[in-house]
C-alpha cells in the first residue's frame, strides 16, 4: 500500500471515530441530557488520552521545545492528516493549529450544524487534555468554532 492510500485509510479511521463519538453522544443526551452526556464523553475520552500520555512523558516537565519537535514529527500521516501549523515554539510554550481535522470534516459531512460540530470538537479535545496533562504539562485547547480557520489550536506549557 502506498503512502497516499495509507493516509486515506487513516483519515477514514478518524472519520469513523468521529461519527461514533457523535452517535454515542446523541443517544446519551436523549437519556441523560446534553450537559451530562458531554461530561461523560469527556471523562471517557480524557481517560484514553491519559493512557496515551506515555509517549510524551519523556519531555516533562519543561522540555517544551523538544515536545513541540516530537509532536510535529509524529503528527498522523506524516503531518498530512492534521496539517499542523506551528504558531509558537520556544522554551515557554508550544502552540500548534491543526489546519485540517478528519473528525471535524466527518461531523460536517455527516450533516451536523456548526453548533454541534463545535460541541463535538470540544468533547473530542478531551483526548488532548488527557494526553498532555497526563504527561505533566499544562494544556489548553482552543477548539473550533464557526468562522475559525482550520480546527483546534493545541497549547502546551511547562507546569507553573
Q: What is the pLDDT of residue 152?
A: 97
Cis amide prior to 61 (ω within 30 degrees) = yes
> Residue 136 and residue 7: Cα distance in Å, rounded?
30
Q: pLDDT band at 149, cuts 50/70/90? A: very high
Q: What is the pLDDT of residues 51-103, one digit of tens each?
A: 999 999 999 999 999 999 999 999 998 888 999 999 999 999 999 999 999 99
How many structural domains are present in the chain?
1
pTM to 2 decimal places:
0.95
Q: From the CB of residue 128, how many other CB atoms can be counted at a distance below 10 Å?
A: 22
Q: Which of 106, 100, 158, 103 is nearest to 125 (CA)?
A: 103
For residue 111, the domain's CATH number is 3.30.1380.20
Q: What is the pLDDT of residue 159?
A: 86
In eight-state DSSP terms, residue 55 is: G
Q: What is the pLDDT of residue 85?
A: 97
Q: What are phi and psi of 92, to 5 degrees?
A: -100, -25
Q: What is the pLDDT of residues 14-53, one digit of tens each?
A: 999 999 999 999 999 999 999 999 999 999 999 999 999 9
Amino acid at each position: 500500500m502506498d503512502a497516499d492510500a495509507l493516509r486515506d485509510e487513516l483519515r477514514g479511521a478518524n472519520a469513523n471515530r468521529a461519527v461514533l463519538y457523535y452517535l454515542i453522544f446523541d443517544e446519551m443526551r436523549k437519556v441523560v441530557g446534553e450537559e451530562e452526556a458531554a461530561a461523560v464523553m469527556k471523562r471517557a475520552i480524557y481517560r484514553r488520552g491519559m493512557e496515551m500520555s506515555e509517549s510524551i512523558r519523556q519531555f516533562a516537565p519543561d522540555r517544551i521545545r523538544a515536545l513541540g519537535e516530537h509532536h510535529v514529527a509524529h503528527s498522523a500521516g506524516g503531518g498530512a492528516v492534521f496539517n499542523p501549523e506551528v504558531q509558537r515554539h520556544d522554551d515557554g510554550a508550544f502552540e500548534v493549529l491543526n489546519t485540517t481535522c478528519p473528525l471535524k470534516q466527518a461531523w460536517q459531512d455527516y450533516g451536523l450544524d456548526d453548533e454541534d460540530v463545535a460541541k463535538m470538537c470540544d468533547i473530542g479535545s478531551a483526548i488532548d487534555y488527557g494526553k498532555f496533562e497526563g504527561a505533566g504539562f499544562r494544556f489548553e485547547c482552543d477548539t473550533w468554532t464557526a468562522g475559525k480557520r482550520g480546527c483546534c489550536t493545541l497549547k502546551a506549557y511547562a507546569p507553573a
